[in-house]
């Protein structure tokens, strides 16, 4: 389940696993699917499209 979040006058879609936010729901869903299939690692291809980064990253640091 992707979470919709309002930031200022923008809406971003958050991956529920890693917490990164995307400007479209489809990409956020792609990220979430990837995160669920590959716990602890994000797809570089997907995460480079992120427009929002959580203050407290959910991903463990390497
Ligand atoms: Zn993710």
26-49 per-position pLDDT tens digit? 999 999 999 999 987 878 899 999
**Cα 50 to Cα 1, 61, distances in angstroms:** 17, 18
Please count the other Cβ atoms lying within 10 Å of the Cβ belonging to residue 31.
28
Flag whether pLDDT at 13 surpasses 80. Answer: yes
Ligand 1 mean position to 7 CA, how many Å?
18
Q: Which helix (H) or strand (E) holds 46?
A: helix 44-47
C-alpha 39 – ligand 1 centre gap (Å): 9
Q: Is the distance from CB of 24 to CB of 13 less than 8 angstroms?
A: yes
Ligand 1 centre to CA of 17 (Å) is: 5
More confident residue, 58 or 47: 47
Q: pTM of the predicted model, to two decimals?
A: 0.80
pLDDT at 39: 84
CA of 8 to the centre of ligand 1 (A): 22
């Amino acid at each position: 389940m992707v979470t919709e979040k309002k930031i200022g006058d923008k809406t971003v879609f958050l991956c529920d696993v890693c917490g990164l936010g995307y400007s479209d729901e489809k990409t956020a869903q792609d990220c979430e699917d990837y995160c669920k299939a590959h716990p602890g690692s994000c797809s570089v291809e997907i995460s480079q499209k992120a427009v929002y980064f959580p203050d407290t990253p959910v991903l463990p640091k390497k």
